[in-house]
Structure 1
Amino acid sequence: MKSAIERRMEIVNMVNQNGKARVEDLAEKFNVSSVTIRSDLSFLEKNGYVIRSHGAAIPNSGVIAELTVQEKRRQNAGVKSFIAQAAAKLINNGDTVILDSGTTTREIASSLKNLENVVVMTSGLDVAMELVSAPGVDVLMSGGVLRKNALSFSGSQAEASLKNYRFDKVFLGVDGFDLRAGITTHNEQEASLNRLMCDVSEQVIAVTDSTKFGRRSCHMIREFGNIDILVTDANIPEDYLQSLREMKVEVIIVEED
């Protein structure tokens, strides 16, 4: 039987994919009582994942809730791996790179083991740990205050450490990617640090799976088309793809094997 966390995240995916999920159908699918499902939906509504409506749940199309890094790793892990592998190919020997904190950028770090003479600065604790086994990569940490649920550093100390550097590329993971709201994240200090990362980098590369399109968080990092490259999967909405190409953003679409 699935754990409560696994069941709840699968419920969120079902609701977002189908537009609605009934309590009775969910109880049957997961072989649990309707009381358990109602408890799940209460938890998910309280945390902003869904909206309860007449014995069912519908997507919360507004501001999305923040997941812990453990929960993020369970979401679309296969797609994220393919996206990360494609993004890692954009890093060459001798590059200086920023890897934002996040599950996709952590996957990028795991693909850099064979590069030489590369410098990576990161705000992600788990990203840095992934690079320990990359002999050709020198690792710089941004420092700052550790957000334990995200395993990321931010704050004035982190920003001060960036201001005297210049990098070839920054790879941004995103929480939301919306036509109007732009590229967004949940935490104000993290958004501020991400904006500075973009300012000190020659090239801004966003990496995200297609579930983030049409979603938004509270704090903007960049306007919608204000990036150089987007690496994503084949389920990117057509209007997003067309708009990005009109704005001269290079879109790299990854096909799953």
Structure 2
Amino acid sequence: MNSVERHQYILKQLQEKGSINVLELGKELDVSSVTIRKDLKVLEERQMLFRTHGGATLNNPYTSDRSVIEKEKMQSEEKALIAETAAKLVEADDSIIIASGTTVLAMARHIHPIGNLTVVTSALNVAIELNRHANVEILQLGGMMRSTSASVAGPYAEKILDDFFCSKLFLGVDGIDPDFGLTTTNGLEAHLNRKMIEVSQKTIILVDSTKFGKRGFGRICGLDEIDEVITDQGIPAHMLKELESRGVKVTIV
């Protein structure tokens, strides 16, 4: 095949499958992976596809900031299962950090504290949800409020965290990419999330499967810096393999 024929074949496969793999295309077309990657680069420049780790897709892998009201309606069933599973990890007399996002908010609704629970959070809606429990002590971080997420970010919030250390961090993200790691759509929030990881013994990521292969503006950390991922059955096989190869526990609900 010449380059034009390869491009037509690649686009046809994308239309049929939604995503394609460089190695598989190389075998099918009997050309090197380098040739396929060059083809994908040309097609991306023509705005006909989006390149991803090891392949390409028709769907834009880059995330944009959306309001918490809009996000709550997306993958709601998967988020509820993830949240319920995560809530069971909260132990008696625990001290935890809950970041911002619709999945961790759903988790807060499933928490039934045993003994005295201490919660540090950047999210106002999480604090309000947990405030109904008499045996939950809440430390609300301060700073600039983000209207889209009802959470705070910035140096004031980070400074408060210098005085604490918690057993677990429950963190929602906007994207997980094998190369770029964990991301969110806001740079200040990403920086605060990094600080939360530093002051937590264990980092647990709550994420529905649509976030895999996505990239947000602000990078939080690499895959090696997290301990567990709780997700749904739609997780791509290559991402499951990648996470487990790096020693990350993956819980599929």
What band does the TM-score fall into relative to the shorter chain?
A: 0.7 to 0.9
Structure 1 length as normaliser, TM-score? 0.75
What is the CA deviation profile of residues 84-113 of structure 1, one whole-angstrom value per residue up to 9, with x for unaligned ones? 010011110111000001101111111113
Counterpart of 2:67 in structure 1 is 68
What SS does the aligned partner of 1:220 have? strand
Counterpart of 1:242 in structure 2 is 241
Gaps of 5+ in 2: 1-15, 20-46, 50-57
Distance 2:230 2:207 in 1: 7
Counterpart of 1:142 in structure 2 is 141
Query: 1:207 offset after TM fit, Å?
Result: 0.5
What is the CA deviation profile of residues 107-138 of structure 1, one whole-angstrom value per residue up to 9, with x for unaligned ones? 11111134321100100011111101122211
Query: 1:52 offset after TM fit, Å?
Result: 9.3
Counterpart of 1:182 in structure 2 is 181
Distance 1:233 1:140 in 2: 30
Gaps of 5+ in 1: 1-16, 21-50
Paired AA for residue 128 in structure 1: A
What is the CA deviation profile of residues 169-220 of structure 1, one whole-angstrom value per residue up to 9, with x for unaligned ones? 0011000011111000111110110000000000011010000000001111
**Correspondence 1:78-93 to 2 at 5 A:** 78-93=77-92
Moved over 3 A (4+): 17-20
**Cα distance change, pair 248–52 in 1 and its aligned pair in 2 (3 A):** closer
Whether the aligned pair in 2 keeps the contact of 1:204 and 1:229 (CA below 8 Å) is yes
Distance 1:145 1:116 in 2: 32
**Correspondence 1:15-54 to 2 at 5 A:** 19=18
**Which one has a bigger Cα radius of gyration?**
2
Distance 2:239 2:103 in 1: 20
The percentage of aligned residue pairs carrying the same residue is 39
**Cα distance change, pair 148–19 in 1 and its aligned pair in 2 (3 A):** same
Distance 1:246 1:180 in 2: 14
Counterpart of 1:30 in structure 2 is none
How many residues are treated as equivalent by the alignment?
Answer: 204
What SS does the aligned partner of 1:126 have? helix
Counterpart of 2:225 in structure 1 is 226
Whether the aligned pair in 1 keeps the contact of 2:90 and 2:113 (CA below 8 Å) is no
**Correspondence 1:102-251 to 2 at 5 A:** 102-251=101-250
Whether the aligned pair in 2 keeps the contact of 1:227 and 1:249 (CA below 8 Å) is yes
Counterpart of 1:38 in structure 2 is none
What SS does the aligned partner of 1:198 have? helix
What SS does the aligned partner of 1:217 have? coil
Whether the aligned pair in 2 keeps the contact of 1:72 and 1:103 (CA below 8 Å) is yes
What SS does the aligned partner of 2:189 have? helix
Distance 1:128 1:232 in 2: 24
Query: 1:18 offset after TM fit, Å?
Result: 7.7
